[in-house]
A = this chain, B = another copy of it.
Amino acid sequence: MTITAATPQERMHSARTASRSLGLLTDAAKTALLRSIAEAIDANVDEIVEANADDVSRGRADGLTTGLIDRLTLDGSRVAALATAVRDVAQLPDPVGRVLDDRVLDNGLHLQKVSVPFGVIGSIYEARPNVTVDIAALALRSGNAVVLRGGSAAQSTNAALISVMRGALADAGVDPEAIQTVDDFGRDGARALMRARGLVDVLVPRGSAQLIETVVTESSVPVIETGAGVVHIVLDATAPLDWATDIVVNAKVQRPSVCNAVETVLVHRDAASRLLPSVIEALQERGVTVHGDAAAASFGRDVVPATDEDWATEHMSLDISIRVVDDLDDALAHIRRYSTQHTESIITTDDDVAERFLAEVDAAVVMVNASTRFTDGGEFGFGAEVGISTQKLHARGPMGLPELTTTKWLARGAGQIRS
């Protein structure tokens, strides 16, 4: 279903209006709505793949890397996976209407704090078209309207997906203006979204560190910051060799391009000679380039000298930095300086060290003896993931559907006045 409104502001106004009826939908109505969207995606697979082919050929002409082309490309089975993801979200418990506090004052006034939708959620994101469907499904499941701003590389695909989803809304008797895009306004669309305080309740950027930084700096709409992970693993003096090796390898190579992959290993000086030869070798066997300080380099071959920039870099690739530290305090100081407060883990069998690490490290997720790859909504059992918040306001760490709601106090009285 095509969009006719002429300006970003008009579209956001329409989304606001649509959000009012959406917020009142029952659990069953929202579930049915998401199933209809999934069916519509399945029914329109050819149209979606065709629109995607436009983006892919333009991407090739523009010289996008093979990796980016792969992220952008949709075929029949990937479109089917989008529909399946929507059906998965449909099955999640309704996050709206939870009673989070319930109290009766001495004067008889009955107070309840209940979860309610935000209203309108905005999202600014990059090339992957699956985000278009993911965010729309998560927003609708939680009773919110959504205004999307995807990357220009996926604009034909996104337009097709949004048209299909709006059609499904209209067919289900729900205001189709609940799904909006400002893609066709280019950078002006993104700017309008970031300035829409009062129309858009919260903005969730997803993509590169640079994209997120821009949104955080320029937006007057409240932002939930997701993302960048300069993630550390500390190998304490007591770290068992097998745990150290397995966890560091898993955290680096299982999926190097994601935010919960480890970037830096800090090794206690007393354990360096016991642990590092095996850890470095195991990493290199799996194609990892090891960057190290001088002390770390002495325990392996072909270790590239680490630069100051390495410590601050989220590589998103098969690169890792290793530094030998004097003690736990030295490790904690390094983490304070370079951490993006996403996930930090320590390998140790010393309970005092473990508890100090858990208490003193300031990050969304702090681990002992586990791979940092577990920081993930799916792994945490949330069923779906909105993103991983690295801020402290409202949500921290993996966000599920409840993080797409706010609260409202309901007060039921019988004439109470304040004395």
- Give A residues with C-beta under 8 Å from B: 20, 24, 103, 105, 109, 111, 113, 118-119, 197, 201-202, 216-217, 220, 222, 224, 240, 242-243, 246-247, 250-251, 254, 345, 354, 358-360, 362-371, 373-375, 379-381, 391-394, 396-398, 406-418
29 contacts between A and B (CB under 8 A): A105-B374, A111-B380, A113-B397, A201-B393, A202-B392, A217-B220, A222-B393, A224-B393, A247-B417, A251-B417, A254-B417, A365-B409, A366-B409, A366-B411, A367-B412, A368-B412, A369-B412, A369-B413, A369-B415, A370-B413, A370-B417, A374-B411, A374-B416, A379-B418, A392-B406, A393-B394, A393-B406, A396-B406, A398-B409
| Closest residue on chain B to residue A198 by CB atoms | B341
CA distance A381 to B102 in the complex (A): 12
Q: Which residues of B contact A364 (CB under 8 A)?
A: 408-409
Contact in complex: A371, B247 (CB < 8 Å) = no
Q: Which residues of B contact A412 (CB under 8 A)?
A: 354, 358, 367-370
Q: Which residues of B contact A254 (CB under 8 A)?
A: 417-418
CA distance A55 to B409 in the complex (A): 40
A105-B379, A370-B411 given; 13 more Cβ-contact pairs under 8 Å: A105-B380, A109-B370, A202-B392, A217-B220, A222-B392, A243-B415, A247-B415, A251-B417, A365-B411, A367-B412, A369-B412, A379-B418, A393-B406
| Closest residue on chain B to residue A19 by CB atoms | B362
Contact in complex: B24, A418 (CB < 8 Å) = no
Contact in complex: A411, B367 (CB < 8 Å) = yes
User: How far in angstroms is the closest Cβ of chain B from A195?
Assistant: 10
CA distance A216 to B222 in the complex (A): 9
CA distance A418 to B261 in the complex (A): 11
Contact in complex: B24, A359 (CB < 8 Å) = yes
CA distance A118 to B379 in the complex (A): 26
Q: Which residues of B contact A365 (CB under 8 A)?
A: 408-409, 411
Q: Oligomeric state, in number of copies?
A: 2
Contact in complex: A24, B360 (CB < 8 Å) = yes
Contact in complex: B392, A118 (CB < 8 Å) = yes
Q: Which residues of B contact A359 (CB under 8 A)?
A: 24
User: How far in angstroms is the closest Cβ of chain B from A105?
Assistant: 7
The 9 closest A-B pairs by CB, nearest first: A370-B413, A250-B417, A392-B406, A373-B418, A394-B394, A367-B411, A243-B415, A369-B413, A365-B409
Contact for A250 among B20, B243, B418, CB less than 8 A: B418
| Closest residue on chain B to residue A417 by CB atoms | B250
CA distance A332 to B320 in the complex (A): 58
CA distance A216 to B195 in the complex (A): 12
Contact in complex: A411, B368 (CB < 8 Å) = yes
Contact in complex: B109, A374 (CB < 8 Å) = yes
Which of A20, A24, A413 has the largest count of B CB atoms less than 10 A from its CB? A413
CA distance A174 to B418 in the complex (A): 41
Q: Which residues of B contact A354 (CB under 8 A)?
A: 412
User: How far in angstroms is the closest Cβ of chain B from A295?
Assistant: 26
CA distance A394 to B395 in the complex (A): 7
Are A391 and B222 CB-contacts (below 8 A) given A364-B409, A409-B364, A415-B243?
yes
Contact for A119 among B202, B358, B362, B373, CB less than 8 A: B362
Q: Which residues of B contact A394 (CB under 8 A)?
A: 393-394
Contact for A393 among B202, B246, B358, CB less than 8 A: B202
Q: Which residues of B contact A370 (CB under 8 A)?
A: 109, 411-413, 415-417
CA distance A105 to B380 in the complex (A): 7
Which of A354, A370, A373 has the largest count of B CB atoms less than 10 A from its CB? A370
Contact in complex: B220, A360 (CB < 8 Å) = no
Are A409 and B397 CB-contacts (below 8 A) given A247-B415, A417-B247?
yes
User: How far in angstroms is the closest Cβ of chain B from A313?
Assistant: 18
Contact in complex: A246, B417 (CB < 8 Å) = yes
